[in-house]
Amino acid sequence: QVQLVESGGGSVQAGGSLRLSCRASGRTLSGYAMGWFRQAPGKEREFVTRIAWNSGNTYYADSVKGRFAISRDNARNTVYLQMNSLKPEDTAVYYCAAGPFFTSNFGRPLSADGMDSWGKGTQVTVSS
């Protein structure tokens, strides 16, 4: 099983930037994808972005495309989420997640139901 620990959440004004980190341990990430979901009060958890560990293939939700960037550090087993041009509607608890990834997943987002491991979440608050 993969253990995930997030960090980097905080409060920022609209237009600002934050970088989230998620460190994985307990298992090699080969054959896995790591990604980010978010959940705002009163709303369902939604997919934000993901990266396939082996290939680096990325996928973004339309709502964050062009503003957010996901990346990985193989040596540190860490995935990053660089969030730029933040908007108030980005306010949510952000969760790191990991799950198996296969070729059929290329060009597709992650399903929350398919994730093996979840971090505890980190709060991101964007004020106008």
Is the pLDDT at 102 greater than 90? The verdict is no
Higher pLDDT, 104 or 93: 93
Residue 118: which pLDDT band, with cuts at 50, 70 and 90? very high
Q: What's the token pair of residue 53?
A: 């560990």
**Residue linked to tokens 């082996």:** 54
Cα 57-2-7 angle, rounded to 5 deg: 75
pLDDT, tens digit, 9 for 90 and up, residues 53-87: 999 999 999 999 999 999 999 999 999 999 999 99
Q: What's the token pair of residue 48?
A: 């934000």
pLDDT, tens digit, 9 for 90 and up, residues 31-42: 999 999 999 999
Q: How far apart are the C-alpha atoms of 122 and 72, rounded to whole Å?
A: 18
Beta bridge partners of 72: 79
